[in-house]
Amino acid sequence: MGTNLFRAMLLASAGVSAAFGVLAPAAAEAQEAVYQIDIPAQPLSDALRALGRVTKQNIVFNGQTVRGKRSVAVRGRMTAAEALGQMLGGSGLKAAPSAGGYMVQAGNASGAASGGAQQVRAGQGNAVLVGSVRDHKTGAALKGARVEVVETGESTATGDLGDFRFARLPTGEVTLRISYLGFPEQTESVSVVGGLTNRTDIYLGSGATTEIVVIGQVSARAQALNQERTAENSTTVISGDLLGNFNGNTISDSLRRAPGVAFTSDDLTGDGVNIVVRGLAPDYNQVKLNGIALPEATGKGRAASLNNILADSVSEIKISKTLLASQDSAGTGGLVEIETKSPLDRPKRYFNISADTTQRRKGFGEDRQFAATASARFGADENFGVSASFQLRQQDVTSYSYAAGGVPAAYLPLAPNGAPGSLSELDPRRLFPFESGGAYYLNSVALTTTRVKSDTSNVALSAEWQPDVSTNLRVDYVRSRRKSDRLDISNSIGLQSPNYWFLLPVASQGGETRFVYGSQSNELTSDTRATYFRDKLESTDTLNFRAEHSIGPLILKLSSGYARGSTHLPSYSSLAFATVLPINAANVLPQAVNPETGTVVSLFAPRSGREFPQPLLTPAGFDALRNAPSPTFGLFRDTKDERGRSSNWNSQFSAKYEFGSGMLKYIEAGLTYNRARFRSQPSSTSLFYGQYYPGTMDIPLLSEFGIEFENQSLAGIAGSDTAYRFPVRRSLVDFMRNPDLLVDRGAAFRVDIAADPLIAQQYTHEDGLAGYVQARVDIGKVEVIAGLRVDRGRVAAGFINSIDIYDELYNRDEAYYLENLKIVEGTDVLTSYLPRILVNYRPTDNLVVRAGYYSTVARPQIEQLSSARYITYFAAPCCGPTYTQPGLIITQGNPALKPARTHNFDVGVEWYDGQVGAIKASIFHKRISNLIESNLITGFDNIGDFELPDHPVFSNLPSNLAVELRYPVNNPDVATVWGGEISVERRLTFLPGVLSGLGVYANYTYSKSKKQLTEIWYTSPIYDPDGALVNFETISYQRPVPFDYAPRHSGTLGLTYTRKGFDASLFYTRQDRAQNGSDYYGLDPYAEVISSLDFRGVYNFRVAGSDMRLSLEALNLLKGKSDPQSERSRGGQNGVPKIYTHGYYLGGRSVAIGLSASF
């Protein structure tokens, strides 16, 4: 045995010596060069990497051979060979010259023995080569580098730790060609020995003229573009820089400038809440954090809010716009994957602390943020790392907004029979304005001031261990928590019950009579409502374990995780009161009166433009409102303990077999199990009804309970000195926190409505098992990645069902409701076969042409599949086409519903610039069949078999009963989304001097969606032959509409600058108005255009050995105090005038300053 071992060693040595004999003279000269070296004693693997970085030598070693060994300190001027000899002193290892560097191996019998069986197999079979690609200056891992074996044509991309792996290389010398945007292409010769796992670390950029900037946006874009370039599918990556700095406060903020992405924002704080990917709303996108789906916190939906996840600990965000078979099928719009920073991707000992503050205009609040991250690596080879990150964001934001309700006025057109038409006879498909001179009149305008105080905290813990070069284990835990108080105070001014009451002659119509809009009341009302959301807590927890192990060409991966989202609202209180004024010349301006009819049409001018709407009151009228006596107490509502939660369990296992240099590159198969639970808990409610003080006829006044009032001027927003009367926030909060004081003083009596425990038993359970097989075949420069994913999902749900009976006064028969209250349960199982194929053509490293197809499926909700009927009966005249009939409304599901299926097509071309730039263009098309919509059937004759409940009211139904059956159906028409993206970014390094730091960035996305929407006209008139109106009928019709919240145009234009520690950007971002619903007369609702001009500047410097960053941000530079942050409107298409109905004011420009230090 010893003789055989000795012979094997001699053969291996002879083979290696033969390889050394053909080394290039240039390599020999590099080995003989003299270097100034100062490398302290440390784990031998790290010391070898450091020496390779200093000398630019390829030092190949087996991780098992050097494991547990420490180096000798090496200091002084010497050659690489001399330094390596000192470093290996006493280790039992020796270094022999190899192609482009040195190979470290066992140097004697004892050393050979420690190698064990690996040395026996040396030189036999295929060789495994592992390594990493790193930045020469910092040693930071370079993700997405392309590494190619020149002799075989095999290529791979480096992973999250800059790592790469070739599993089936022949013994001998191989040449590696490394391509990374930002560095010149580099080649390295490496000698590998069969039967061993050989390791080499490659360092790019040894001189100042070739290295990229490792801090800031150039570094971040290099990380992102390299990963996009080498990816198998079409992706957009938002990355931190090489040192882990990530821009943006929240995840949604960080994504707002990405191509193909639009964002939805919180109107009250301005924060991004969620994203729209390629024209599809958040519910169509899958969001993952460290590999596990983020849960939705209320337990009622699927779109997780992104504004609770702070960005400081994030390493990168990847949006997959085409899906492989190995990826989840829920991302019809896109799959968003958020990854936190690995502790092994940070320096050996790392600590960062940062703080920043954002100052809004006076009176609009401020933000403060603090973050700290600590990371360390341990072990003999420093292959075990832990990190902890904490972030705290405190917000105190005040906003002002208006909401205007209105009608198309001032009079109605003639009906189809030529007579003056009522509103019921007006076809909803007719576009406004109906006749010349028509205007949109506001019947009320609510001015609201909102204050939101919140504390958002994130904790991220991570541990990662690489016990050997073939194994990686990682655990991540992230907790996000947001606690907030919100107080809304709204003042609404309007007429009492305006309508088309008056049949009057209209001068503009030649004196013909028309139904004219106005109020029959001679009073106006100023309604005040206060709503207080107290101590709302939203939290998300994710815990995930990931493992990877390689056995030769076989790569095994395992992932298992748990995520939980929850919301708890301890208290939600509301208080309402009103002030009434007479309508007369003393209080109301003459413009409020229609001169043609003499009626008061509106207390506001006909709506035009986007200005803040001002009431048409005289100074005396305003004074009367501001100086009105203290309002009386009427009703206070206090809702408590509203909860919701959802949770996800996920386990994935995959096996990937790599074939090496042939056409077939790999075959991969995997299994995924998902388990999701959704549940919401109803709240209890307490009602406090005002009453006369006992023994008196005195009505309680709000001032008696400490509520004070003040006049607030809105000059900076409304453009005038008009002041509105509002309760003082402090006094209002004190009152709403202690409503029992009303009962104690005899001013109110309390009615408690407990939550029905049966309602809390509602649930939704989802269990899914998915399997996939995927393979890649390379035909020349063409990559074909094809696969099939099979999803099998089971959904079980229990939901409330009962029978509601309301009498003529809208009182519900509670006893009958409770008697029939029950949980209806249902189960559905769906199996989907989802083929996917992606093709990439790479004529050069930096040019990629992509084409792809993939399919996804969305299942109906269980309630939509259930045949159980929910029955509601109204004895009051509130139903039917004219809302004058008693009604029976039946709601049920449809067991025949089919899942919605989407076929996705994508074609694109990408060219990458070696100076960290790119030009990318793509077009996409999505075809969605079986979308679910509501259907309506009227009349007993059309409903089919139906058994009436046993309630006495059904024994003698009125003859004019309006009957409706509502149920979901699959839309027979195919919905489509199509569009294109283009993005350009370029560093202008060819410019002279200081101008060489400039760069440009631009992207544009066009997205057009269409689906057929079924609308209902409940009051289509029926005329007799003489033209007299005899009845109404309900008809349905279809109209094309876009998907909600999908802007047609969006884009960003930017200028960047990076030079000598200074990093700056100026970005203009704009997204088009987006429809978010439908309405009659072409007055569809829209979210208006959102645009911003933002500046960010960062200066990097060093103080006492610490890396410092001083940042300055100026946001919304184009907005002043009177400019709304966001707006809502109606119409604006097909000749219908645009009517601005909502505006939200956050103070315009804001400035943020921050400082961070890294040690």
The domain spanning residue 283 has which CATH number? 2.170.130.10
Whether residue 35 is found in the same domain as residue 118: yes
- Count Cβ atoms within 10 A of the Cβ of residue 33 and give its class: 0-12 exposed, 13-18 middle, 19 or more buried: exposed
Q: Which among 1131, 1125, 1138 is positioned nearest to 364, based on CA atoms?
A: 1125
Same domain? 167 vs 232: no
Is the pLDDT reported for residue 995 higher than 70? yes
* Other C-beta atoms lying within 10 Å of the C-beta of residue 1070: 16
Query: What does the pLDDT read at residue 9?
Result: 33
Question: Would 168 be classed as within a structural domain?
Answer: yes
Helix axis angle for 80-87 and 25-32, nearest 10°, is 60
pLDDT at 214 exceeding the cut of 90: no
Structural tokens at position 1045 = 């919240």
pLDDT of residue 29 exceeding 50? no
Same domain, 191 and 227: no
- Predicted confidence at residue 19, as pLDDT, reads 35
Q: Has residue 383 got a pLDDT over 50? A: yes
Most confident of 680-694, 717-731, 1058-1072: 1058-1072
Domain count, the chain: 2
145 and 71 inside one domain: yes
Cis peptide bond N-terminal to 843, omega within 30:
no
* The predicted structure's pLDDT at residue 206: 65
pLDDT beyond 80 at 504 = yes
162 in any annotated domain: yes
Same domain for 222 and 184, yes or no, is no
Which amino acid is residue 1015, in one-letter code?
A: E
1075 vs 932 pLDDT, higher one: 1075
Q: What is the pLDDT of residues 1007-1032, one digit of tens each?
A: 999 999 888 888 899 999 988 988 88
Residue 3's pLDDT band (cuts 50, 70, 90):
very low
Instruction: Show the DSSP H helices in 926-1031 as ranges.
Output: 940-943
- Residue 728 tokens read as 């003082």
- Residues 86, 162: one domain? yes
Question: What is the Cα–Cα distance from 610 to 564, expressed in whole angstroms?
Answer: 43
Final residue belonging to a domain, choices 204, 232, 252 = 204
Token pair 């209250």 is found at 821
pLDDT of 783 = 96
| 9 within domain boundaries | yes
Greater confidence (1128 vs 881) lies with 1128
Whether residue 225 sits in one domain with residue 195: no
**Edge-to-edge, what's the strand order for the sheet holding 93-98?**
58-60, 101-106, 93-98
Residue-number span of the structural domain to which 26 is assigned:
2-204
Q: 228 φ, ψ to 5°?
A: -65, -40
- pLDDT score at 306: 72
The answer to whether residues 272 and 314 belong to one domain is yes
The per-residue pLDDT for 1084 is 95
* Pair (21, 160) in one structural domain: yes
Q: Across all residues in the chain, what is the average pLDDT?
A: 85
976 beta partners: 927, 1010
Between 771 and 895, where is the model more confident?
A: 771
User: What pLDDT was estimated at residue 196?
Assistant: 81
Instruction: Say if 1040 falls within a structural domain.
Output: no
Higher-scoring residue by pLDDT: 717, 962 = 962
| Residue 620 CB coordination number (10 Å) | 12
Residues 6+ apart with CB under 8 A from 1025: none
Same domain membership, residue 240 and residue 109: no
Given pLDDT bands bounded at 50, 70 and 90, which one contains residue 941? low
The pLDDT tens digits for 309-322 are 777 778 888 999 99
Compute how many other C-beta atoms are within 10 angstroms of the C-beta atom of residue 170. 16
Judge whether 956 lies within some domain: no
Highest averaged pLDDT of the listed ranges 357-366, 749-758, 770-779: 770-779
pLDDT-derived band at 356 (thresholds 50, 70, 90) equals: very high
Same structural domain, 199 and 273: no
Residue 1072 confidence (pLDDT): 94
> Is the pLDDT assigned to residue 211 strictly greater than 60?
no
Write the CATH number for 172.
3.55.50.30
Mean pLDDT within 560-572: 92
Check pLDDT > 60 for residue 471.
yes
In a domain, 260, yes or no: yes
State yes or no: pLDDT of 331 exceeds 70. Answer: no
Residue 48 in domain: yes
Q: State the pLDDT confidence band at 62, using cuts at 50, 70 and 90.
A: confident
Residue 1050 lies in a domain: no
What pLDDT, on a 0 to 100 scale, did the predictor assign at position 21?
Answer: 38
Q: Within this chain, do residues 262 and 316 fall inside the same structural domain, yes or no?
A: yes
Helix (H) / strand (E) containing 1047? none
* Residue where one domain finishes, among candidates 152, 179, 204: 204
| 178 vs 207, more confident | 178
1117 in Cβ contact with 1067 (< 8 Å): no
Average pLDDT over residues 38-62: 81
**CA–CA separation, 629 and 607 (whole Å):** 32
Q: How far apart are CA 240 and CA 238, in angstroms?
A: 7
- Are the C-beta atoms of residues 1118 and 1089 closer than 8 Å to each other? no
Cβ proximity of 768 and 329 under 8 Å: no
Instruction: Name which of 302-306, 400-404, 631-635, 1149-1153 the model is least confident about.
Output: 302-306
Phi–psi pair at 217, nearest 5 degrees: -70, -30
Judge whether residue 1132 has pLDDT over 60.
yes
Q: What is the SS3 assignment for 592?
A: helix
Q: What's residue 943's pLDDT?
A: 65
- The arithmetic mean of pLDDT across residues 659-663, rounded, is 85
* pLDDT confidence bin for 564, thresholds 50/70/90: very high
Share of the chain above pLDDT 70, in %: 91
Beta strands in 971-1041 (DSSP E): 975-987, 998-1023, 1029-1041
| Close Cβ partners of 928 (under 8 Å, ≥ 6 residues apart) | 332, 900, 901, 902, 974, 975, 976, 977, 1011
Write the pLDDT tens digit of every residue in 892-921.
888 888 888 999 999 999 999 988 999 999
Q: What is the mean pLDDT of residues 1081-1098?
A: 94
In this prediction, what percent of the chain has a pLDDT beyond 90? Answer: 42
- Sequence-distant (6+) residues with CB within 8 A of 109 are none
pTM over 0.75: yes
Q: What is the pLDDT of residue 839?
A: 98
Taking residues 147-172, what's their average pLDDT? 90
278 close to 924: Cβ distance less than 8 angstroms: yes
Instruction: Taking residues 561-589, report their average pLDDT.
Output: 90
Where does a domain end: 296, 316, 343? 343
| Distance of alpha carbon 380 from alpha carbon 800, whole angstroms | 61
pLDDT in tens, 810-851: 999 989 998 998 998 888 888 999 999 999 999 999 999 999
* C-alpha–C-alpha distance, residues 799 and 562, integer Å: 25
Between residues 195 and 769, the one the model is more confident about: 769
